[in-house]
Structure 1
Amino acid sequence: MKKNLAVTFLFICILFYSQVTVPYRIGNKFGISDESGKMLIPAEYDIIDIMIYGSNGEYVGIRKASENEAKTTYIIDNKIVLKDTDYHYFGKSQGFINAVKLKSLDRIFSRDSYANKLTDIYTLDGKKVFNSSFRFVNFLEDEKKPALKDEILVLANDLNGLYSFFLLNKKTLKISKTFFEGVANVDTDYKKFPAALSIKYYKDFAGKMIILNFANGKIAGEEVTDIGSSGYSNYSSSSDYSTYSPTQGYSGETEASPVNTNGNMITEMKEVTESRSRKPFDIPQLNVKNLELSPEYSTILKEKGKLGYFNHQTKEWILTPQYDEIMSTESFCAICGTYIVRTGNIYNIWEIGNNKKEMLKGNFEKLPIFKKRNYGREGFHLIQLFDKDGKLFSYANQDGQVYYKQ
């Protein structure tokens, strides 16, 4: 009896662990559903954004008031954690939430982008950790081999660009110790981490180095030495936020020009990907450009009015001539290429390479782009569907199930 109960409990745990959730569009609004279409969070958002490096069940819901104004809701494990906020970006780090608001949307891509950010820190259940805001906050820890058990080291850059380094108790959310504050320049060394950590800081033209040693989940020793003031470097940081996180130097979308043809040989291929660079609250859209193909290697060939993709070195078809359009897209598999083909009004996705040649089962009426591979479970692939204007319409899975209804 006990054995049967244990097996049943294990089965339930596996089902729960492997539950996949997706953004589901109803009419013109998005919500969150399981893979069968059962709604978990009502469809009341203009956009549901998926975190680039986030886990399944981690989303940002956006309600737009105007082009540059919106309320954002941060969702973790399919539960609303921060609701109707004024933040532009969110990200998880070492068991905490970085919530970022931009002071000016006109300075998203400026070199001093950190000065444009206001960052607040929350726990994973939505409790604000610090009363003050920062430009950015870094938690100095190793996820796989944490140096500390009940505390965490924090390096924070305040709104004036000055650093503070302190020890935070993760349970009480109180600062246990402040190592320094009001410092303009710091330099960290992780070479021996998580056994030890050294950090140099410079203030009033004088420098010091702190060396921390760790053992049994605690700080086992602290050494402070004087160092010279030359050779310091500014500490810089980057964080992974939601899929619309800004990219430096963004200059807009690229429109593909008409492809070059030489008889039945076409020496350009259109590449379509999701734009990684967009302002907050913008609907995801396609980035389109042309890739040059070499007759020495591979080109598109036309036979009897249909297109195929031909390897001129092996004299073999990569894709046989049966399509009306062949496009390249971002690959999510190792050592392989991913292609989108169109026959009439139907699109399909091919993955080719590394002794593999497989077409996903799904037939799509809108242009499909891989969003995430093995999303929430092995074998479940999340697909974005884009309309004729290149804007995100809805999502689907690898088998062609579309998460949309009117």
Structure 2
Amino acid sequence: MSHNIILTKQGKTAKGTIHLTGSKSECNRALVIEALSGGRVKVKNLSDAADTVTLAGILNSKVKSENSKTLAGEEAHGPSTIDHGQLINIGPAGTAMRFLTAYYTLQPGEVILTGSERMKQRPIGILADALRTLGADITYVEKEGYPPINIKGGFEQLTREISIKGDISSQYITALLLIAARLPLGLELHIEGDLTSRPYVEMTLAMLKQAGIQHTWTDNVISIENQEFGETALPVEPDWSAASYWYAIAALADEAELFLPGLTSYSLQGDSVITEIMANFGITSQFKDGGVYLTKEVKPIVRKIFDMKECPDLAQTVIVVCAALGHEATFTGLETLKIKETDRIKALQNELAKIGVKLIEKGQVYKLDCSEKFIPETMFINTYEDHRMAMAFAPLAQIVPQLEVEEAKVVEKSYPAFWTDLEKVGFVVEEQKA
């Protein structure tokens, strides 16, 4: 779908079975591990998320540094003439930008990594500085600290010890950890301050361990020696981030009976914490029959403070549910939301205002003010080229009679079947052509 859609739903009952795509977070890590292993590691159950398809396509392509062919199937947004290396356009895929920045420092030849206009506004400097400290040759093509970047692959490692701030994107840390075993001197990574999104770092290390890479983590220091990958298969779980939207649908329903096959209670994914968060809204998660059953029990919402530091990708979902229910909760741990696909704080503030709800920022604390909340007959949702904005607000169709969502195709980034899956539980999805 390349146009807006109109969402409607008769009744507030959600029942059905939904088969989710593979975890984008796991897939993107697994693909880089597979590439670095020289084929010793194989990935099973690849996600069909656009970001993963883009990354897989790039890693499976043979880099020819003597030409300037653009990969990933779209025109580059970088300079019109490239006289350096191959131009690789990752579009809006932020994970691909971070992981490939580290990956290409180890590959022969020269590349320029670029992306969408929004990608050029998302900082890469902290990761580039860390790689430069190791000895990598990375320069900026346009704006200092931001893509596009020029990478000359293959370098003499100057040190094994680097420091990086813990309160920035965990993808910077993961990018470094993924290449650590391939560094001649290994890597000793010192994390400064509090670690944001810790479960994502733990996921990376757990997947590396599955692939035969050992590590130590003492206090704030993660060490990985130079070592070989083992021969193994990396199975990818269904996506807990995608599951979160079904928890939101259940939370806004009067009655819910949903089954999500393949999900387990011992997931590597930090977003599996959605089971605990949504228990506050009366959603019970029962793991059996090879998946999780969601049921709804109407109960008072008691919890007032939600710390999203370790699961920032759930923030929009939880905030929208609270707003829709008129629950004036307080949120912390949202520091990274401003450098995502869009400034998610500003986007949330803009869209919640359409139902009279304010998201008030006070330092690093955010509070919902629902005192003027109302439910309009129709509502238009701007998505800001952000897949999670579209999916976080879609459940509102259960309480707003007619919900129009801008540029429905944005969900392809992580959950291409989202609109089709909504139809399976009674949502009506109509394309609104311009």
Give the TM-score, by structure 2 length: 0.26
- Structure with a larger share of its residues in helix: 2
The higher radius of gyration belongs to 1
Higher RCO, 1 or 2 (CA under 8 Å, sep at least 6)?
2
Give the TM-score, by structure 1 length: 0.27
- Structure with a larger share of its residues in strand: 1
